[in-house]
Amino acid sequence: MPLASQAQRANDFEIAEALFQAGNYEKAAELFEKLYQTNATQIFVVERLRESWFQLRAFDKLIPFLQKELARQKSGGAKIAMKLQLAQCFIEKNEREKADAVLNTLCDDCAMLAQFRSVIFALQRGKFYEYVVKTAQQARQAMGNQTLFADESAEAFVLLGRYKEATDEFLKVLRDDVADFSKVQAQILSYASKSNPTVLKETLAAMEQARDRFPASTLGRQFLSQLLTQLYIESGNIEGAFEETAARDKFMGARGAQLLGFARTALDQKEVSIARRAYQKIIADAEDVAFVQRAKLGLARVLEREADLQPASRNEKLQQAVNAYRDYEQTYWLTMDMPDVLLSWAMLEFQKLGNLDAATVTAKRLLERFYESQPARAAEVLLAKIKLEKNEFNGLAQSLTTLANHPNASPEIRAEAAFTLARVQFYEHRFEEALKTVSDVDVARNAGNDALELRLSLIEAFGDTARNPASLESLKSYADAMRLIAQKKFVDAKAMLEAMRALFPTSKLLDDALMQKGRLDENTSPAQAAQTYDDLVKAYPKSFYADRALWRLADLSETELKDKAKAADAYERLLRDYPRSFHAKDARERLRKLKETS
């Protein structure tokens, strides 16, 4: 070829490629076709020309072109890609039989595993999932291995919505000791869920039938058992989950480790009775001292949960939990988790039993024995809260300031200390200091929401002082009421909150007062609390508390007052008027269940 012609061809190629990259497929196709006519063997030109025509949907040109090229091509990746594109052309023209005829020839030249793999990969990219399955079957027949491409087949069946066959393939995957269990787990749980009970039941049945085909010593059997446990939990069969976990613990020789993990999960999901059984089994079997020790601590936490769920025996259960913590300290007093145990014990005495002196004694014992530990810093915050409740403010702000800036305290503890300091400043009417302190609390921490609530109340009150001379007095009144709540003088606090409406009718803090009153009402009269929350939303629909008040109104109506109609109405109002609320997701789910049962 003359040099001038070569230069012109190179120039045309550069222009054509630039047009292709810019999405100008029509002009690109014209130049690539011209280049093809002068040299039909340059594979890159062939690729660009067929892709340009496909983008232009020029199927009448592309189909004969592909057929011609396929006749010239030898086996390989380029031929597979052309066949797939030819099939796509026929599909686009609604000529499915011709497309199927092409796809059925994909493996004609396959003799080795790598060739089958190339075909399956290309089919996956083209989303020809039915043919992924067919090709896997052809590979199995050709290679004499019925587990080949089980992973690819399973994924294809999932995407085709053929879940029973997907499960069968995933079971083949699990027989491989190097299987990606997390991937298999995620795929199965994506379709076997309580939202699809028929599929969940079908999947469970298939796995139960396959269980005996997996030798106990294999990883596959362990993975299958873990999956079964999760599916039992998903289906609500907690007893089945417990039995499966106990069996897995035994055949793995785990000596209680599997049961311990299961008990924690059950406790997190409020399946308290089954968590108790798991902990008790670990203790009864006594196969590992360390696991028995953790199970005893777990039982103490079970007792705390049972106290929350059984109001009639609440104090009895809490006292049993205290005894369990005491026994644990006496038996395992040198263990690494003792600081956490003492902190849990002190928190129980303070938060749930209201035994301030007992909480103080336990917290101080923690400080004496483990002063450098993180739980010791939390104990210091707890002691400050006890002083606050006892109305012992002398030196309290200084100690909290030190703790809020303690270099060895965790961010969570520093945030809690800072918020508690802001409360002290607030109760003492040092409002500017309180605002500065609370503004520095990280909202991502556990104390963040309460800190934000206090900060907004302060900003709201300060912003109203120029317009409303009584604003500062209403803020003082609100702070006094909150101080009474902190000291558990609820009757006096409620009276003060109620009086604010008459004393300061234009105060910006009346919605805050109503929210606090509603919280107090919940302890004595759920019906009154529901009314208070309803009043808040109606009077202050743009309040920071409005969506929260509606959520509490709905929850109380449903769970305490058993008024489904009122609950449904409140959930609907929440979703309609506050669609971005933190509670919107739960409200939608609760409303769905209410409608299903009504």
Q: Quick one: pLDDT band at residue 274, thresholds 50, 70, 90?
A: very high
Contacts of 62-65 with C-beta under 8 Å, sequence gap 24+, read: 62/89, 63/89, 63/90
Q: Quick one: pLDDT band at residue 366, thresholds 50, 70, 90?
A: very high
Q: Which helix (H) or strand (E) holds 486?
A: helix 471-486
Confidence at residue 42, expressed as pLDDT on a 0 to 100 scale: 83
Output the CA torsion 447→448→453→458 (10° steps). 100
Residue 140 pLDDT greater than 90, yes or no: yes
Confidence at residue 110, expressed as pLDDT on a 0 to 100 scale: 86
Two structure tokens written together for 43 = 């594979």
Confidence at residue 75, expressed as pLDDT on a 0 to 100 scale: 67
Q: Quick one: pLDDT band at residue 543, thresholds 50, 70, 90?
A: very high
Residue 422's CB is within 10 A of a number of other CB atoms, namely 28
How much is the mean pLDDT over the chain? 93
Residue 175 pLDDT greater than 70, yes or no: yes
Report in angstroms the alpha-carbon separations of 418 from 380, 425, 460.
12, 11, 21
Confidence at residue 230, expressed as pLDDT on a 0 to 100 scale: 94
Residue 328 pLDDT greater than 90, yes or no: yes
Confidence at residue 5, expressed as pLDDT on a 0 to 100 scale: 67
State the pTM of this model: 0.72
How many Cα atoms occupy the beta-carbon half-sphere of 81 within 13 Å? 11
* Between residues 115 and 598, the one the model is more confident about: 115
Confidence at residue 81, expressed as pLDDT on a 0 to 100 scale: 87
8 Å CB contact between 298 and 340:
no
Two structure tokens written together for 317 = 């259960």
- Cα distance between residue 591 and residue 413, in whole Å: 37
8 Å CB contact between 317 and 306:
yes
Q: Tens digit of pLDDT for each residue in 553-576? A: 999 999 999 999 999 999 999 999
Mean pLDDT, residues 72-94: 85
Amino acid symbol at 236 = G
Q: Tens digit of pLDDT for each residue in 43-72? A: 888 899 999 999 999 999 999 999 998 888
Q: Quick one: pLDDT band at residue 177, thresholds 50, 70, 90?
A: low
SS3 for 506?
Answer: coil
Q: Angle 453-458-461 (CA atoms, 0-180°, nearest 5)? A: 125
- Cα distance between residue 553 and residue 527, in whole Å: 9
Radius of gyration of the CA atoms of the chain, in A? 35
Mean pLDDT, residues 451-472: 89
Residue 447 pLDDT greater than 90, yes or no: yes
Q: Which percentage of the chain shows pLDDT scores above 90?
A: 80
Residue 12 pLDDT greater than 70, yes or no: yes
Mean pLDDT, residues 485-510: 95
